[in-house]
Structures are given as structure tokens and as C-alpha cells.
Structure 1
Amino acid sequence: MNTLDQLSIGEKIKVKSIEKDSAVKRKLLDMGITPGVELKVTGKAPFGDPLEILVRGYKLTLRKDEAKVISGE
């Protein structure tokens, strides 16, 4: 199982879970990142943090530590 922070630009992931003990879980769920949703990495900063993703038709920027808690297939 991959985590969102491991993907390269252009790759997609279908959200399987978000770490249950994560401090940002509620924030991610409120932004529409829920199990079953497809995420696509559309850009990364030069050192990989933050990264830009496409979720439900809008672009969102996440820090690498936030992306690490999102796992998928």
C-alpha cells in the first residue's frame, strides 16, 4: 500500500484509509479526502514539500507530513 507522499507528479491513488491517530484526520475529511476518492498529484515544490493534488475537481496543497497519513491503492 502506498502513501500519497510517495507518488510522483501525474500519478493517481484511490484513498483506502487515513491514519486514525493522525492530528490532521478531521481536517482532511473536511476537505473531501475520504475513503474511495481518487487523488492525483499535479505538482510538487522543488524539495517535494508541499505537494499539489487534484481532489473532487479542485486543487489542494498539502504538506508532506499531512500526505504521509493518506494510504491507498
Structure 2
Amino acid sequence: MTSMNGAATAAISLDQLPSHQWATVLDVSRPEEAEARDLVLRLTEIGFVPGEVVRIVASGVPNREPLAVRLGHTTFALRRHEAALVRVLPGAAHHG
């Protein structure tokens, strides 16, 4: 998966983003299962849309769950499988 600007090759899922590193949302996966599609809709409705800047500000133990994700001026708690649906490009400029 490559694009003209190389963004697709550098993209990772939000659950893989190191804590306190800014990133830009590229997209949200579009899974086949109805339950997962509902989750994607909820993520999109709360603001996980292309161009938004995000970072993980804290994570639980064990296994980094849940993740506290800063999106704009709001912090959301996401499970790792929820965060895995969001593709980001690490290294966005500081936001907010």
C-alpha cells in the first residue's frame, strides 16, 4: 500500500501509536460486521475523521488498556480494539 506522498506506508493504527506522540487521523476502517460498523460510526461521530490531530495521553495496565486519547480539546477512553480501527500518520504538529 503506497501513495504518492508515502503516507500510506508510514500509517499505523492508533493503538500502536506511542504515548504522548501527536498524529493525524487518516481514516477509520470499514469492517464487514454490523457491530463493527456501528462502532466505526460512533468513532466518526465523536470526531475521529481525516485531518484531526490525536495523541495517547495515558494508558492502563496491563496491556495498555484502556487508552486515553486526546482529540481536539476532549479526552476519550478507547479500548485497544476500538483504537485499532483508526489509522493515523505519526508526527503531526502540536495541537491545542
Shorter-chain TM-score range: over 0.9
Question: Aligned with 1:59: secondary structure?
Answer: strand
Cα distance between partner residues in 2 of 1:36 and 1:61: 20
Cα distance between partner residues in 2 of 1:72 and 1:46: 23
Greater relative CO, 1 or 2 (CA 8 Å, sep 6+): 1
* Cα deviation 1:18-70 (Å, max 9, x = unaligned): 10126111010111111110001100001211100110101111000000010
* Residue 3 (structure 1) aligns with: 13
* Residue 85 (structure 2) aligns with: 69
State TM-score, norm by structure 2: 0.71
What percent identity do the matched residue pairs reach? 22
Question: Aligned with 1:20: secondary structure?
Answer: coil
Post-superposition, which runs of at least 4 consecutive aligned residues in structure 1 deviate over 3 A?
Answer: none
2:55 maps to 1:55: no
Q: List alignment gaps of at least 5 residues for structure 1.
A: none
State TM-score, norm by structure 1: 0.92
Return the index of the structure with the highest Cα Rg: 2
Q: List alignment gaps of at least 5 residues for structure 2.
A: 1-10, 90-96
* Residue 40 (structure 2) aligns with: 25
Computed over aligned residues only, the root mean square deviation of the Cα atoms, in angstroms, reads 1.1
Shift of 1:8: 1.9
Higher helix share: 2
Higher strand share: 1
